[in-house]
Structure 1
Amino acid sequence: MPSHRSDDEDKPCRACSDFKTWAKGQNKVTFTSPNKPQHPRPKDCPLDKDEIGRSTWGFLHSMASYFPDKPTKKQSEDMARFFNIFAQFYPCEPCAIDFQEDLKRHPPKTSSGTALARWLCERHNTVNKKLGKPVFDCSKVHERWRDGWKDGSCD
């Protein structure tokens, strides 16, 4: 995958790091302690890696949960194509490369909405494990991303 940057190879990529790490590379002091920002970050700043990740996973999980349970052949093909194209253009280059490799090992399962939602949950758990984060119970993807929790807390 070609680099998205040309002459700025030494310049940190905001979409490839969290805000604190990126800001340190810019020689800016942003936090005097973990809970007290010295200069609060304005809401209209470009998204950092963590913000892009959270937003992207939310979008992708919602999309997968709403994918038809009996998709047409074209819908199945289009969704598989979407994930492959998405992986090429994800703004965090190391993340994109990782996802492309994961797609080679585990191509999108687009035979049904349930299959797609579970496949995506497994892909997300692969990333969670790499980052040392807890894994999600993939049997609950529709509860989390479409129907709401069984306890009614989302009603």
Structure 2
Amino acid sequence: MMSSHRQYDDEPHEAVASMGRKVCRVCDDFKSWRKNKNEEPRSPSCPLDREELGRNTWSFIHTMAAYYPRKPTEQQQCEMKQFIESFSKFYPCVDCAEDLRKNIKLNPPKVGGRVDLSRWFCEQHNIVNLKLGKQQFDCSKVLERWKNGWKDGSCD
């Protein structure tokens, strides 16, 4: 049975599993991984699992968008589009990457400025949250969350 997942070290998942080695953590869905997970806390020096990868990725993506120029040059806009396109091809969670590529076709990235890009990524994150049964984030507060800090001063 061929896996739909790819691995960048050119070693197919089925071959890895048949050799008695662990399959890619970021490629396994969280529920399956959780069933097989040892209940002892694992070392922070271990590879990220799918949930950790997602959480860390969204933190990076939202922060990057929050610091994107308010009025980017045409070159910066082109580079951001290229980044998003490349990101959607090389993201280690293959299912996640495929979903992102589909979403990009349906709703191309808005790279006209910081607010537009931040909202676009927030909308993409909310699509994932909906799929996972998680709460939606109010995208009108994305810069407050990822750049300026909450108005109540709790981040000061």
TM-score normalized with structure 2 length:
0.85
> Residue 14 of structure 1 aligns to a residue in which SS?
coil
| Structure 2: 5+ residue stretches without partners | 18-22
Cross-structure match for 2:38: 30
* Contact 2:13–2:24 (CA under 8 A) maintained in structure 1: no
The verdict on how the C-alpha distance between 1:98 and 1:118 changes in structure 2, with shifts beyond 3 A counting, is: same
Q: Give CA deviations for 1:88-136 in whole Å, capped at 9, x if unaligned.
A: 0000111111111111111110001100000110010000000000000
- Identity, in percent, stands at 51
The verdict on how the C-alpha distance between 1:72 and 1:14 changes in structure 2, with shifts beyond 3 A counting, is: same
The verdict on how the C-alpha distance between 1:52 and 1:113 changes in structure 2, with shifts beyond 3 A counting, is: same
* Contact 2:130–2:136 (CA under 8 A) maintained in structure 1: yes
Cross-structure match for 1:15: 26
* Contact 2:6–2:13 (CA under 8 A) maintained in structure 1: no
> Residue 74 of structure 1 aligns to a residue in which SS?
helix
Cross-structure match for 2:55: 54
Q: Give CA deviations for 1:10-48 in whole Å, capped at 9, x if unaligned.
A: 7343112367733645xxx612xxxxxxx3211110000
Please state if 1:102 is matched with 2:103: yes
Cross-structure match for 2:6: 3
The verdict on how the C-alpha distance between 1:19 and 1:118 changes in structure 2, with shifts beyond 3 A counting, is: closer
> Residue 88 of structure 2 aligns to a residue in which SS?
helix
Please state if 1:151 is matched with 2:152: yes
Alignment of 1:65-144 (within 5 A): 65-144=66-145
The verdict on how the C-alpha distance between 1:79 and 1:143 changes in structure 2, with shifts beyond 3 A counting, is: same
| Structure 1: 5+ residue stretches without partners | 32-38
> Residue 82 of structure 1 aligns to a residue in which SS?
helix
1:64 CA drift (Å) = 0.4
* Contact 1:20–1:30 (CA under 8 A) maintained in structure 2: no
* Contact 2:6–2:12 (CA under 8 A) maintained in structure 1: no
One-letter identity of the residue aligned with 1:22:
W
Aligned residues: 145
CA distance in 1, matches of 2:82, 2:123: 18
